[in-house]
Every structure is written in C-alpha cells, then in structure tokens.
C-alpha cells in the first residue's frame, strides 16, 4: 500500500492516522485479519439470532424498550428503525474532519471483530471514506453515553442510503444519489448491526485527537510569541536557564523554557540590558512565568493523550462479543474518560490565552513597555495603533474562561431513566474546539503586536524571533499609520493555525518541542 493509505486491522489506529484520514484525505483499507475476525464473530451473532434466547440488540428492543421480544421477521425493521429514530440531530452541521474522524474510529472498532457486524458493513464505511462522502451530522443530539448516538446514527443512515451527505466537492446531496454515483451499494442492516454502529465514543474521541494535535502546535506557538514579547519588552532570558528549570522538575515547563531560550539565542536586544546595573530587577509574571504556564498545559495534554491512546485501543459496543464468544452487556460506552480529558484541556487553553493577552497589553501600555510608543501607534493620538486589537483578545479570553467550565458534571437523565447518568462528552468536545480557535486568535494578536514592537526597537532581535517577525511581514506590513486591522489579524490567525510561525522559527533553531 502507498503511504497515503491507512490499513485498518484488529489493532488500534494511531492519532496520526486519524488526522491523516480526517484532514488529508488518506484512503483506508481493511486488513485481511480484520475481515476474518468480522466473519468469525458474525457467525456467533447469527447463531444467537436463530435461538430462542433473548439477546439485547439482536432479538429485543433498545434502551427502556429492551423487554420487548422482536420476532425474526421484524429484526431487519428493528435495525432500520433504530437508525432512523436515532438520527435526530439538530443545529448547524458538524465539520467534515470531525465526521471523517468519527467514521474512521467506528470502522476501527468494527475491525476488532468484537461487534458482530458483517464484513460488508465495515467495507461500506471504508468505501464512503474513500469516495469523500461525508454524512451530514448536526451539532446537537449526543449526550455522550450509550455512545455518540445521534451523530453516529446520521453516519449509519447514510450507509443505508438515506439522509444526506456532502460529496467530495462539498455539495449536499441525498445519500442514495451520492452512493449510486460512487458505485456504492447501500446496506440493509441485519441483527445487531444498527446498534453496533452507534454505541461508541467515536465522536468525542475523534475531536479529542484532533484537538490534541492542534493544541500541541499552539503551545509551541505560545512559547514563540512569548519569546518575542520578552524580547520586545526588554525582558531577561536568564530566567529560562536549564539549571533554574531543573529546580522544579516538571517536564512540560522544561520543554517550554527550552523553546523560549532557543528563540532568544543571539538577541542584541536582550544583551543590551543584561548588565548588573539594569534598572529592570524582575520581569512581570506574564514574561517570567511563561514556561510554567505553557509547560503545565503541555503536561495536561500529555495526560489527555494517554487517555486517548487507551480509548483508541478499546472495542466499545453494547452488547459486545467477547474473545471466548459470549455476548455480554456492559457500560464501556460511557464517555466519562474522554469527557474529563476534553474538559481538562479547556482549562489550560484558557489560561495560556489569558497570559498571552496580558503580554500584549504590556506591549501596548507606554508605562510598562520600556520605551515603546503608546499602543505601538505610528502617531499616537492621531493613530490608535493596536489599542482595539487587545480588546478583541480580552473578549476572547473572557469567552474562553466560560468555555473552561466543565460539561461533564452536567448529567441529564434520558430514555425513561434507563440512561440515568450521561457524560456530556460530545458537548465537552464541541466547546474545546471553539476554545482552540480562540487561543489561536489570541496568539495571533500577540504575534502581530510583538512583531511590530520588535520593528520599533533600535537593536536587532534574535535570529529566530526575527525569522518569525519576517514571516508575519509576508502577510502584514510593518509599523506605520493606522490601517484596517481585522484583515491583518485574520492573516496572522491563518499563519498560526497553519503552523507557519513554528516553521519560520525552526528554520533557524532546528526542531522545537
């Protein structure tokens, strides 16, 4: 197989593979061991279906209706009705990358052979992914327990040839029409198959993996913009020395300090005041403690990625087919582990952004910027410079603090009290995605202001910070009279999200953390 194909076997997919399929259109293929496991487990389900023994999801109703026995001639109707009734999402459409990640993760669970679906079901999921057909999934509908029910049901509905998809060009089309054009035959689900397609944490897990990928880059970017601000504000690099960091052996903190120190290596600005009689005795916390905050965020992220790794190795369904062939009900679909991780990450996202906004404010305040013009304005009074850019940051930070409130503590019972405690993990995921967008925008504002401040200093900045400033300058002009700020800020947001500031820095420093 070529490098752009992700093979789905009985083992877990990796976070990198999830990102590749979700964002970079990598193809998927089912490995022979997975197809063999699917066929073997399916034989067990078909044997149970032919017996008189009631089995949840095979010969009974669902949730609070599990006491209803379903006769053999109505069991295909049972699975079809389950998907139709559970595809009850509402609100705006969910992003394409989230739906693709969710489908890949459900496919990965199917491939373990623990769900009891036929190989054709897994093959059809793979076919939709490879054809670029993305089921239309809506913002609201999951409580994060019994799986991400509504989002996953919308995916299964498309596999049935019902509902709507977005095709590879982004056009919204009826599923039956889009599948026919792609040469994909819709699936009529047999016993247990509908249930197996919706009992998973795939929606929240996919968003955790994508968020982890994005946050790792944003934390490096935060250290880069912090270094630019430290330099522009005549801060000292001495506080980032390795021996000082070793006194507090937090691994994330040490990593952040290494990034900032590497960024400031060779700075004439920093060297110009590194003398014994310098009047600046200690820098403000937002400068001096930058690696302590970004480092704590790194360590939090490491824990949450550990949780995600465990979840990637899981085979979540209810009931599940065990290795010895039993079909057992269980509670593994409860999203608490993932929900807590998603909520946990929203806290450092808000705090890193808060510290970045404080550095920007310091750059703009003539009383604290050590010689920079008020608001970095070209002609202060006539020009307002970046005054209102900081307002935008402050508004975002306020929103991020609200988004840091946990969703996972807010259980609301459902299904006639059968599902009397739910995780709200999907909601934790949705607010984390909004929070990450906010963090990127706050860091872009700091980068924009710090680049201007470095331009206004007489001495040369460090080679690495200069490289980042110059990358900003490819999108935004240097200091001068007031200009329309919003397009300039948006241009730098694009650079931050694309990792362009990291690339510029690493062209000088080599790989950063």
Please tell me the distance from the alpha carbon of residue 15 to that of residue 307, in angstroms, as a whole number: 12
Tokens 């259980």 locate to 411
Q: Which of 56, 125, 285, 340 is catalytic?
A: 56
Closest CA to 465 of 244, 295, 241, 259: 259
User: Would you state the structure tokens that stand for residue 232, as one six-digit string?
Assistant: 């522009």
Please tell me the distance from the alpha carbon of residue 87 to that of residue 81, in angstroms, as a whole number: 10
Which helix (H) or strand (E) segment holds residue 93: the answer is strand 90-93
Q: How far is CA 160 from the centre of its chain?
A: 29
b/e map 467-499, b = 16+ CB within 10 Å: bbbebbeeebeeeeeeeebeebbeebbebbbee
Which positions ≥6 away from 430 have C-beta within 8 Å? Answer: 139, 207
Domains and CATH numbers, the chain: 5-200 (1.10.275.10), 207-509 (1.20.200.10)
Half-sphere exposure of 468 (CA within 13 A, CB side): 39
Task: Check residue 319 and give its pLDDT.
Answer: 86
If you count DSSP H runs as helices and E runs as strands, how many of each does the chain have, helices first? Answer: 20, 9
Q: What are phi and psi of 214, to 5 degrees?
A: -70, -40
Give the model confidence (pLDDT) of 17-51 as tens digits. Answer: 999 999 999 999 999 999 999 999 999 888 888 87
Please tell me the distance from the alpha carbon of residue 84 to that of residue 71, in angstroms, as a whole number: 20
Give the model confidence (pLDDT) of 411-427 as tens digits. Answer: 888 877 777 788 889 99
User: Would you state the structure tokens that stand for residue 372, as one six-digit string?
Assistant: 């920079």
Enumerate the β-bridge partners of residue 289.
none
Please tell me the distance from the alpha carbon of residue 209 to that of residue 338, in angstroms, as a whole number: 10
pTM: 0.95
Task: Check residue 2 and give its pLDDT.
Answer: 45
CA distances from 110 to 42, 125, 152, 277, 407 (A): 11, 10, 13, 68, 29
Please tell me the distance from the alpha carbon of residue 271 to that of residue 36, in angstroms, as a whole number: 66
User: Would you state the structure tokens that stand for residue 283, as one six-digit string?
Assistant: 């820098």
How many other C-beta atoms lie within 10 A of the C-beta of residue 245? 22
Please tell me the distance from the alpha carbon of residue 228 to that of residue 237, in angstroms, as a whole number: 11
Cα Rg, the chain, nearest whole Å = 26
Q: Give pLDDT < 70 ranges for the chain.
A: 1-3, 62-66, 273-274, 279
125 a catalytic residue: no
């Amino acid at each position: 197989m070529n490098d752009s194909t992700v093979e789905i076997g009985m083992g877990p997919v990796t976070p990198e593979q999830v990102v590749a399929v979700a964002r970079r259109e990598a193809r998927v293929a089912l490995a022979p061991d997975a197809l063999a496991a699917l066929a073997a487990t399916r034989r067990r389900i078909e044997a149970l279906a032919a017996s008189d023994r009631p089995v949840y999801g095979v010969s009974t109703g669902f949730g609070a209706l599990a006491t209803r026995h379903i006769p053999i001639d109505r069991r295909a109707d049972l699975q079809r009705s389950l998907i139709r009734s559970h595809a009850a999402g509402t609100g705006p459409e969910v992003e394409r990358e989230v739906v693709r990640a969710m489908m890949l993760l459900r496919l990965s669970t199917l491939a373990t052979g623990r769900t009891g679906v036929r190989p054709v079901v897994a093959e059809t999921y793979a076919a939709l992914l490879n054809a670029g057909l993305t089921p239309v999934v809506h913002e609201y509908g999951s409580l994060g327990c019994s799986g991400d029910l509504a989002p996953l049901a919308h995916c299964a509905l498309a596999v049935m040839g019902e509902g709507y998809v977005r095709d590879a060009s982004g056009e919204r089309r009826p599923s039956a029409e889009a599948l026919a054009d792609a040469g994909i035959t819709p699936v009529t689900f047999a016993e247990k198959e509908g249930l197996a397609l919706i009992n998973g944490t795939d929606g929240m897990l996919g968003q955790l993996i994508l968020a982890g990928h994005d946050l790792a880059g944003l934390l490096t970017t935060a250290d880069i913009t912090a270094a630019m601000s430290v330099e522009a504000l005549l801060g000292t690099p001495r506080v980032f020395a390795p021996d000082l960091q070793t006194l507090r052996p937090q691994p994330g903190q040490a990593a952040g300090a290494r990034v900032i120190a590497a960024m400031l290596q060779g700075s004439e600005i920093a060297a110009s005041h590194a003398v014994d009689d310098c009047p600046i005795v200690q820098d403000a916390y937002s400068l001096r403690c930058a690696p302590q905050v970004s480092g704590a965020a790194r360590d939090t992220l490491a824990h949450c990625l550990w949780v995600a790794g465990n979840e990637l190795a899981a085979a979540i369904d209810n009931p599940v087919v065990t290795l010895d062939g039993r079909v057992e009900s269980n509670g593994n679909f409860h999203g608490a582990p993932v929900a807590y991780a998603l909520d946990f990450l929203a806290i450092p996202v808000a705090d890193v952004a808060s510290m970045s906004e404080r550095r920007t404010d310091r750059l703009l305040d003539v009383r604290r910027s050590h010689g920079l013009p008020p608001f970095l304005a070209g002609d202060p009074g006539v020009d307002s410079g970046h005054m209102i850019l900081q307002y935008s940051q402050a508004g975002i930070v306020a929103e991020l603090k609200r988004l840091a409130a946990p969703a996972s503590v807010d259980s609301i019972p459902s299904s006639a009290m059968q599902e009397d405690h739910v995780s709200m993990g999907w909601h934790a995921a949705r607010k984390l995605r909004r929070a990450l967008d906010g963090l990127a925008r706050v860091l872009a504002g700091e980068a924009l202001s710090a680049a201007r401040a470095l331009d206004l200093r007489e001495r040369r900045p460090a080679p690495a910070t200069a490289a980042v400033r110059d990358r900003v300058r490819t999108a935004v002009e240097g200091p001068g009279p007031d200009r329309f700020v919003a397009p300039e800020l948006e241009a730098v947001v694009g650079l931050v999200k694309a990792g362009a500031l990291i690339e510029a820095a690493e062209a000088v420093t080599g790989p950063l953390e």
